[in-house]
Structure 1
Amino acid sequence: MNYKTEDNVLSAFGGESKANRRYVIFAEKAEKEGYPQVARLFRAVAEAENVHARNHLNAVDSIGTTKDNLFAASLGEQEEYKRMYPNFIEIADRERNDRAKRSFEWANKVEEIHHGYFEEALKAVRADKQLEEVTYYVCQVCGNTIKGQPPEKCPICGASASAFKEVE
């Protein structure tokens, strides 16, 4: 594949991925405002954007083995919590944008947790072992990801246990 085409495919992947997430969030807002059909439309288009993103990644053979994918995910999370978010936090603090700073701080802490989970999974896959079966819960306030039953209070943002959503 030509370099420009590969760049275009990866750019399209980024755009489709962002649109997917944006539309999922828009759907939640439409539901809260009493527009269930608009919410359904947003969810349908979000699913289509997900299909586009998957097709784009497949077009450049960017989906590796589980081992490759875990390694890439681990490196990505590490980059975020060690470099990206600390820089973003510093800038938000300097610009006195407390909401952005808090969002970055929460994400930074959670990305470190994700890095640990991916490293654990990578170690298991390299040893040709399965991960222990657990249920994951995600805090809907800060994104904290917990194995097993959620705590009474999220250690990152302080939300109650009811803020955690079980992941299937």
Structure 2
Amino acid sequence: MFLSRRSLLEGVLLAPLIPLSGSKPARAADDFPATITALREGYEAETAAYRRYALFGRLAGEDGYRGVAYLHTALASSEQIHAENYIRVLNGMGVSPQAPAETEIPIGTTKDNLIHAAERELNSINNTYPAILEQMKEEAHPEAMKIVEYSWASHKQHLDIINKIRRWSPRHFETVARKIDKKTDRYFVCGICGSTITKVPTDDCPVCKEAPGSYRLISPEDFSG
């Protein structure tokens, strides 16, 4: 039996509204309580890290440590990307967290600030990000898992310099600072994942695999405040 033209049109228009056999219904935000908690906390932590690096960079510049200031500035930009990723995913889940309150940032000398930053970076690599991923693992929200893995991988890019700073700065800070000054050329940060490198890759970003056009040059004055 042939369908009428009207019946045929109704079938075509309604087809997208009928679930395919075996397809999974979209999961609501209520299905991801641990993920939402982790992303909220991560958003606050990344925002605090951004503010801390921006301040450390400005203070290092005032003290005349050009390379150290630029390093902090580049890392501030990376942390800002991470924070933006967290809030983007939260918004996509229907969650709108308030901007974290600005708290007082403990500061010391440029030497103290650099060592403190290196210690925090290492703790993030070894403890913070693995714990976040473990917290979210059971719920397995793909986009949330991805952006946390991006943050973790971009932090691990700095592991070599982190270890050198921790090893040599306590007793040989001036030598370390001069080496950073001498070796500092330009920093580029990927706007997708926060990867921070000194030379734009010829192929895709090593972290998020996006095209190299996702990188932008960071100016030493970006967060001079």
Partner of 2:188: 137
Q: Deviations over 1:98-131 (max 9, x none)?
A: 1111111111111122343344456476252242
2:122 counterpart of 1:78: yes
Higher share of residues assigned helix = 1
2:140 counterpart of 1:93: no
Partner of 1:3: none
Give how far 1:93 is off: 2.0
In the alignment, structure 1 segments of 5+ residues that lack a partner are 1-12, 30-45
Partner of 2:173: 126
Of 144, 147, 153 in structure 1, the residue corresponding to residue 198 of structure 2 is 147
Superposition map of 1:1-168 within 5 A: 53=102, 56-57=104-105, 62-120=106-164, 123=168, 126-128=173-175, 129-131=178-180, 132-168=183-219
Residues 115, 165 of structure 2: 8 Å contact kept: no
CA gap of 1:53–1:116, structure 2 versus 1, over 3 A, is farther
In the alignment, structure 2 segments of 5+ residues that lack a partner are 1-46, 52-79, 89-98, 220-225
Partner of 2:10: none
State how many pairs are aligned.
Answer: 123
- Give % identity: 24
Q: CA RMSD in A?
A: 3.4
CA gap of 1:77–1:85, structure 2 versus 1, over 3 A, is same
- What SS is found at the alignment partner of 2:157? helix
Give how far 1:53 is off: 5.0
- What SS is found at the alignment partner of 1:165? strand
Looking at structure 2, the residues matched to 96 and 80 of structure 1 have their Cα atoms a distance apart, in angstroms, of 21
Using the size of structure 2 for normalisation, the TM-score is 0.46
Residues 188, 197 of structure 2: 8 Å contact kept: yes
Looking at structure 2, the residues matched to 120 and 135 of structure 1 have their Cα atoms a distance apart, in angstroms, of 20
Bigger RCO of structures 1 and 2 (CA < 8 A, at least 6 apart): 2
Residues 200, 215 of structure 2: 8 Å contact kept: no
Bigger CA radius of gyration? 2
- What SS is found at the alignment partner of 1:104? helix
CA gap of 1:120–1:149, structure 2 versus 1, over 3 A, is farther
